[in-house]
Amino acid sequence: MHSANPKAHAFGRSELNVLLGTICESGKFSELANPGDRVNVNVVRSRISGSNPTVDAMISVKHTLYAFVLCNDDRAAEILAFSRIVSTSQLS
Tens of pLDDT, residue by residue, the chain (92 residues): 444 444 434 445 555 555 555 554 544 444 555 555 555 554 444 444 444 444 555 655 555 555 555 544 333 334 444 444 433 344 43
> Beta-strand (E) ranges in the chain?
39-47, 54-61, 64-72, 77-85
Both ends of the chain: CA-CA distance in Å?
A: 28
Q: How far apart are CA 69 and CA 5, in angstroms?
A: 12
Q: What is the pLDDT of residue 81?
A: 44
pLDDT at 40: 52
**Local structure of residue 6 (DSSP, 8 states):** -
**Does pTM surpass 0.85?**
no
Confidence at residue 58, expressed as pLDDT on a 0 to 100 scale = 60
| Residue of 27, 11, 25 whose CA lies nearest to 68 | 11
